[in-house]
Structure 1
Amino acid sequence: MNTIFLPLSPSLSPLLASRACFQRSTTLSVSHSSSTPFLSLSTPPPSLSSAMSSATLQSHSLTNQQPLTELNDESDFESILSPDGYISICGFGSLLSERSARSTFPDLLNFRTAKLNDFRRVFAHVAPVFFERGIAKPETMEISSLSVEPFEGETLVVTVFEIKKSEIPAFIKREVEFRFLAIRPETLDGESFDYPAVLCARYSDEEFLNIRCKGSKEMYFQQYGRWNIDKIWRDDVLPCRVYLRHCVLAANNLGDTAYNNFLDHTYLADRKTTIREHLATTGSGIMEEEPPESLKYRYGG
């Protein structure tokens, strides 16, 4: 477990303070399929330690240092389990939809809305699943999925729910392109949660290749190269249209607060254009487009 010191708001309490200096070097390997090379989830080597606190994770013009705890292996995830053996997951995109969450985690408990301070949502990385499902549009660069990154002053309406300890390996496998952070959400009334939740945050191409793929271009190709993707995290992409519509519908289903928060606190990769602005200009018509028949339930909000 690494502690990453980022400049955050003084109002954000330290996360997992009792574990802040506890670091691990254990490696967890997970396979995407029997024919796919193993991807590693492990503590980064010293040569990458500077990247962990570089622009990849830096907030904007902040002053006070507060720790964010990165979860590097399965034992790190287990260290934030509740006493009854469950772990909290924070949803900010498709997992704003309870239907989507339950399609992935059928036995989840206590699906509810929450608030996450000092993070923003950004459509800034390429998702292979959109190519696999035939909904990516590389000709217009509408191929991006959603992640979050630290940014002082932003507040996100998110969802939180609990899954069993036994579901942690599958979660890691499915979200392997992200950085896993332990964060402490709040209720919409501002009360801190009793236990931290796992958040899938922005990663970097360098770390994905050197840590997850152990420097192997073959492993990278299995995940991205076969779709002619040579860069994952980027600022020249637009949201996948079907996925964006799904996220907006999911936020709307949570009520006006969540809906307006998603429109006004979610950004394109330029980190200037909000989703509300995008849907009124370049992305006009997205909300009227139906997903392919086979994906209508999966991407129906």
Structure 2
Amino acid sequence: MISVVGFGSLLSERSARESVPGLTHYRLVRVSGYRRIFNKVGIVFIAGHGQCPDSLEVSSCSTEPCASTSIIAAQFECPVDQFTELYEREHRYRWIEVQPVALDGRPQCPARMCTGYSDLEYRLNKCVTEQEYHDRVGRHYTGVIWRDDILPFPRYLKFCLVSAASHGDEVLDNFLDTSFLADGRTSIREYLSIRPDLIPSSLRERVS
């Protein structure tokens, strides 16, 4: 088994099982020293969900180091033969090892988590040839993948909010306050205060 930490859409166990149907021991954990940031162009939103490549509302969630922050995430065990599909789903991220703890403070086993990359590193380390890069990215989108001026893809952000909220207010509040726009300054809670149309109707009384 390979232990994995998910912090965005993988806060939904259903979403996690779509990529890893054989996962076990799905649970909530804390990961210290990181925050979430919506700074990666989600190619799947362009290729699979019809978003315009020129839209600013195209980002998915990543993580980056932040000494003062801890995120509540999901940890689960992934069969080795199914990790390949998860790796493919998250191909444009860098995978790192983190040391989660349970919400009651008990140490968990080390786990793999996605974090930020750079466009150059991605081309050098993940795409062997220019043709592979074209097949994975270029035929859908020709700009920079990791940006500081983009905004969350609305349907994805709503899904992440609902997924976090399904675990209770503590997890929802953690998501709102430890997740930031690509600018690195604006929290998702602050963003939703000026974009209340992005709050799922089921959560409007819980997000303020």
TM-score (norm 2): 0.91
> What residue number does 1:132 align with?
47
SS in 2 for 1:261: helix
Q: Deviations over 1:44-91 (max 9, x none)?
A: xxxxxxxxxxxxxxxxxxxxxxxxxxxxxxxxxxxxxxxxxx111101
Cα RMSD over matched residues?
1.7
Verify: 1:101 aligned to 2:13, yes or no: no
Distance in 1 between the 2:93 and 2:141 partners? 20
Q: Deviations over 1:278-298 (max 9, x none)?
A: 1111x3201248xxxxxxxxx
Distance in 1 between the 2:100 and 2:11 partners? 15
Verify: 1:236 aligned to 2:149, yes or no: yes
Distance in 1 between the 2:52 and 2:190 partners? 20
> What residue number does 2:162 align with?
249
Verify: 1:286 aligned to 2:206, yes or no: no
Q: Deviations over 1:138-195 (max 9, x none)?
A: 45410000111111011100010111121122222222211111111001122211x2
Distance in 2 between the 1:288 and 1:112 partners? 24
SS in 2 for 1:110: strand
1:162 to 57, 77, 84: 77
State whether residues 7 and 74 of structure 2, in contact with CA within 8 Å, keep that contact through their aligned partners in structure 1: yes
State whether residues 19 and 86 of structure 2, in contact with CA within 8 Å, keep that contact through their aligned partners in structure 1: no
Distance in 1 between the 2:55 and 2:43 partners? 16
Greater RCO (CA < 8 Å, at least 6 residues apart): 2
SS in 2 for 1:227: coil
> What residue number does 2:117 align with?
203
Unaligned residue ranges in structure 2 (runs of 5+): 202-208
The farther-off stretch of 125-134 and 244-253 is: 125-134
Verify: 1:191 aligned to 2:106, yes or no: yes
- Matched-pair identity in %: 37
1:115 to 25, 30, 44: 30
Q: How many residues align?
A: 202
Distance in 2 between the 1:250 and 1:264 partners? 15
Unaligned residue ranges in structure 1 (runs of 5+): 1-85, 290-301
State whether residues 43 and 141 of structure 2, in contact with CA within 8 Å, keep that contact through their aligned partners in structure 1: no
State whether residues 137 and 240 of structure 1, in contact with CA within 8 Å, keep that contact through their aligned partners in structure 2: no
